């Protein structure tokens, strides 16, 4: 059966999330900051007044004054052209998957408790959904191949310490659940305690993310040895270049034997007041939960509704 009604609803929500929430929010692509680049409600930042991070936070402050405010979290994007050189056919009983599919992400958040410890902190809840849709695979009725659901709660606070031209901006600590809602043998899920450190120097931002996986009983573990593929953290480097944003994400398990990891390169650029052009390249393990132990090599082209900065 076709999944067109389901995806139409998801894409509608995706588009609504990208729209300005108040008339004072002039540009939606300035309202998004992902978990890798954590946010804070405080406007007193160490960067210059026109820095990308400060613009983002000011727009979030204005938007969340609405009683119905929902803010973007991770990037919201749609890649209608996403080509994977090596699909994971083995995960689907060797069913033939198309190399070409649609990939999109929906991610939202809202603060639920501000100024917990002083004026520089807040507690957030967030929800992200990453989908892989075999839209062009008419032989299999164009199914959703994989959807990853990721609710989380985290505490964020402003630091503002500067050393040798590098500023420590924000620290977050939280709980993240991630699963794909499938039954065995395709079922995947894990729970983590996740910490983020964000640093900046001019228009360059560096986020160091690390996590601890909450242990599970062997008979309940759908993802044995997951840490061998995801590792224990990731590094994200973001560079603003006028209307362009270039991001590099690196993961590695730091093992001399059985070394595995992943790299993702993102390029977003001005396209329209409400949209950015977006190119994404991914190579390695863990692009999705069902592919945690399978290496993908993917290039995608599409549009981004809300960017990191």
∠ CA 252-224-84, rounded to 5°: 55
Q: Per the structure block, which two tokens stand in for 268?
A: 């977003």
Taking alpha carbons only, the member of 146, 145, 106 closest to residue 129 is 106
208 in Cβ contact with 200 (< 8 Å): no
pLDDT at 24: 34
- The whole-angstrom separation of Cα 195 and Cα 177 is 14
- The whole-angstrom separation of Cα 281 and Cα 202 is 26
211 in Cβ contact with 195 (< 8 Å): yes
Distance (Å) of CA 65 to CA 26, 279, 306, 309: 15, 33, 19, 20
Q: Where are the domains of the chain?
A: 4-306
Which residues make beta-bridge pairs with 156? 122, 172
Walk along the chain (309 residues) in steps of 10 and give the mean pLDDT of each run: 45 41 35 46 47 71 64 96 96 89 97 83 95 94 95 92 88 97 88 96 95 88 88 97 96 93 97 93 97 96 95
Question: What is the CB neighbour count within 10 angstroms for residue 55?
Answer: 17
Sorted by sequence, the CB contacts under 8 Å of residue 88 that are 6+ apart come out as 97, 290, 291, 294, 296
∠ CA 81-236-77, rounded to 5°: 30
pLDDT at 161: 86
Q: Write down the architecture of domain 4-306 according to CATH.
A: Beta Barrel (2.40)
34 in Cβ contact with 41 (< 8 Å): no
Q: Hey, which residues are catalytic here?
A: 177, 179
Task: Collapse the DSSP code of 218 into the 3-class scheme (helix H, G, I; strand E, B; otherwise coil) and give the result.
Answer: helix
Task: Map tokens 């900051």 to a residue.
Answer: 33
pTM of the model: 0.81
Helical segments of the chain, H only: 4-18, 52-63, 227-230
In the chain, what is the straight-line distance between the N-terminal and C-terminal CA atoms, in Å?
39
């Amino acid at each position: 059966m076709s999944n067109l009604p389901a995806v139409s609803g998801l894409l509608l929500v995706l588009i609504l999330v990208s729209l300005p929430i108040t008339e004072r929010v002039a540009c939606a692509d300035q309202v998004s900051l992902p978990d890798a680049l954590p946010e804070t409600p405080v406007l007193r930042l160490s960067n210059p007044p026109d820095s990308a991070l400060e613009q983002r936070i000011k727009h979030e402050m204005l938007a969340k004054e609405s009683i119905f405010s929902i803010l973007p979290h991770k990037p919201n994007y749609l890649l209608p052209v996403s080509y994977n050189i090596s699909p994971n056919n083995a995960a689907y009983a060797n069913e033939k998957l198309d190399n070409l599919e649609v990939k999109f992400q929906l991610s939202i958040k809202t603060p639920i408790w501000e100024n917990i410890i002083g004026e520089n902190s807040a507690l957030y809840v967030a929800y992200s959904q990453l989908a892989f849709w075999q839209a062009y695979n008419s032989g299999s009725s164009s199914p959703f191949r994989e959807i990853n659901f990721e609710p989380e709660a985290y505490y964020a606070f402003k630091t503002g310490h500067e050393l040798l031209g590098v500023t420590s901006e924000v620290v977050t600590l939280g709980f993240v659940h991630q699963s794909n809602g499938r039954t065995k043998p395709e079922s995947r899920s894990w729970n983590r305690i996740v910490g983020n450190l964000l640093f900046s120097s001019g228009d360059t931002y560096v986020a160091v993310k690390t996590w601890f996986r909450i242990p599970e009983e062997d008979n309940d573990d759908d993802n044995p040895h997951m840490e061998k593929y995801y590792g224990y953290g990731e590094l994200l480097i973001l560079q603003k270049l006028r209307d362009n944003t270039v991001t590099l994400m690196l993961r590695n398990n730091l093992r001399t034997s059985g070394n595995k990891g992943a790299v993702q390169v993102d390029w977003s650029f001005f396209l329209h007041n409400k949209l950015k052009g977006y190119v994404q390249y991914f190579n390695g393990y863990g692009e999705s939960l069902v592919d945690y132990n399978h290496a993908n090599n993917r290039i995608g082209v599409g549009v981004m509704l809300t960017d990191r900065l």
